[in-house]
Amino acid sequence: MKPLTAAVIGSFATTLLVWAAGTSADAQRSAEAWLRLVDHQQYAESWAETGATFRSQISQEQWVEKAKSAREPLGALTSRDRPTIKLTKTLPGMPDGDYAVIQFHSSFKNKAEAVETVALVWEDSTWKVIGYFIR
C-alpha cells in the first residue's frame, strides 16, 4: 500500500507543478501567437508581448530594427511545423524558474529550411517570450 500512496502523491505533486506553470501545449500556443505577430511584421506589438526580461534587455526600437533585419530577408513564411518542446527549470544566464524552449522547423520564401527557437518564461500566469533565434 505504501508504494501506491507514494505514487499517487508523487503524481499529484507533478500535476500541480505542471498546472501551476502551464503546459507545453499552452507554451506552444503562446509561441505560435507571438510568431504570428512577427510573421506579419508587427514587431512593435511582438515586443510588447514579451516577458519583462526581454523588454529590459532591448528597447522596442532596437527590437524592431533587429527583427526587420533578421526576418525580412527570409521572405514570407511558407510553413512552420514539427515543434519540439522542452520544459525546464533552468536556462543559461537566467534564475531558476519555469521555462519552455520550443524549436520549429520552418520554411520561408527565401530560405527553404530554418529552425526557429522560441524561449518562454512562465510570468504573470502566462507564457511570455524571452528569446527568439533563427538559424
User: What is the mean pLDDT of the segment spanning 2-22?
Assistant: 42
pLDDT digits (tens, 9 = 90+) for 18-53: 445 689 999 999 999 999 999 999 999 999 999 999
Contact 46, 37 (CB under 8 A): yes
DSSP secondary structure string, 72-135? Answer: GGG-SEEEEEEEEEEEES--TTS-S--EEEEEEEEEETTEEEEEEEEEEEEETTEEEEEEEEE-
Flag whether 53 is in a domain: yes
Q: How far apart are CA 24 and CA 101, in angstroms?
A: 9
pLDDT of 14 higher than 70: no
CATH of the domain at 80: 3.10.450.100
Flag whether 57 is in a domain: yes
Read off the DSSP letter of residue 41.
T
Flag whether 81 is in a domain: yes
| Domain carrying residue 50 | 22-134
Flag whether 50 is in a domain: yes
Flag whether 7 is in a domain: no
pLDDT digits (tens, 9 = 90+) for 102-117: 999 999 999 999 999 9
Nearest to 117 by CA among 131, 97, 98: 131
Flag whether 14 is in a domain: no
Q: How far apart are CA 128 and CA 135, in angstroms?
A: 21
Q: How far apart are CA 43 and CA 37, in angstroms?
A: 7
Element (H, E) at 27: helix 24-39
Flag whether 17 is in a domain: no
Structural domain count of the chain: 1
Flag whether 10 is in a domain: no
Q: How far apart are CA 31 and CA 118, in angstroms?
A: 7
